[in-house]
């Protein structure tokens, strides 16, 4: 019986040493993993700055690409991710975001942060903020003409409103008299 207890004690000591080794190995691997992740984030930050510089200075033309999207496609880079990287690089340049924030919180959290800081608008939209008009034309000929010439029509209507508002008021009076309104 003593022998069995003695063997158990030896196994217990060996198990304890094995546990300590496994714990040390785990701690060492976690430390290495954290270093790799931090290194990867620094590489991503460099990638952000490179993509921004290539896009801003249109350097992709030097590589024979017609557009930045063509450049991204050739390098097999995801467009959405690349444009998010450019937004983050812009935020770093403007001082809205620090590199340390990215290393501490990660890419996704950094994108969410700049979206909240800029109310979701990171870059101004190229789309016209004025809503389009919708109206019914009386004749097919008018419709065909305006449909074919949408840009000049917008220009003409803007010009009429700014320079010839009296004409528009005369047209409105004429319309009201035809319809019998006062």
Question: What pLDDT does residue 27 have?
Answer: 93
Residue 2: predicted pLDDT: 46
Contacts of 103 (CB under 8 A, 6+ apart): 38, 41, 42, 45
Given a contact cutoff of 8 angstroms between Cβ atoms, the answer to whether 87 and 52 are in contact is: no
Q: Give pLDDT tens digits for 153-174.
A: 888 888 888 898 898 899 889 8
3-class secondary structure, 67: coil
**How many alpha carbons fall within 13 Å on the CB side of residue 146?**
16
CA 57 to chain centre: 19
pLDDT for res 83:
94
At 125, which helix (H) or strand (E)? Answer: none
How many residues does the structure list for the chain? 182
What is the Cβ-side half-sphere exposure of residue 142, based on CA atoms within 13 angstroms?
Answer: 5
- 7-35 tens-digit pLDDT: 555 555 556 677 788 889 999 999 999 88
> How confident is the chain (182 residues) per 10-residue block, as mean pLDDT?
50 66 91 90 93 94 93 93 94 90 90 82 56 80 85 84 88 86 61
A 10 A CB-CB count for 47 gives: 15
CB of 137 within 8 A of CB of 146?
A: yes
């Amino acid at each position: 019986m003593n022998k069995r207890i003695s063997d158990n004690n030896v196994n217990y000591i060996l198990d304890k040493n094995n546990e300590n080794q496994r714990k040390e190995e785990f701690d060492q691997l976690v430390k290495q993993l954290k270093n790799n992740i931090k290194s990867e984030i620094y590489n991503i930050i460099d990638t952000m700055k490179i993509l921004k510089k290539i896009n801003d200075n249109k350097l992709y033309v030097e590589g024979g690409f017609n557009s930045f999207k063509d450049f991204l496609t050739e390098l097999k880079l995801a467009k959405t991710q690349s444009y998010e990287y450019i937004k983050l690089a812009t935020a770093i340049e403007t001082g809205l975001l620090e590199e340390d924030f990215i290393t501490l919180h990660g890419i996704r959290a950094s994108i969410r942060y700049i979206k909240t800081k800029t109310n979701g608008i990171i870059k101004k939209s190229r789309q016209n903020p004025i809503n389009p008009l919708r109206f019914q034309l009386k004749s097919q000929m008018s419709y065909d003409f305006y449909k074919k010439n949408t840009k000049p029509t917008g220009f003409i209507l803007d010009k009429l409103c700014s320079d010839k508002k009296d004409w528009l008021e005369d047209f409105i009076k004429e319309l009201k008299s035809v319809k019998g309104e006062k």
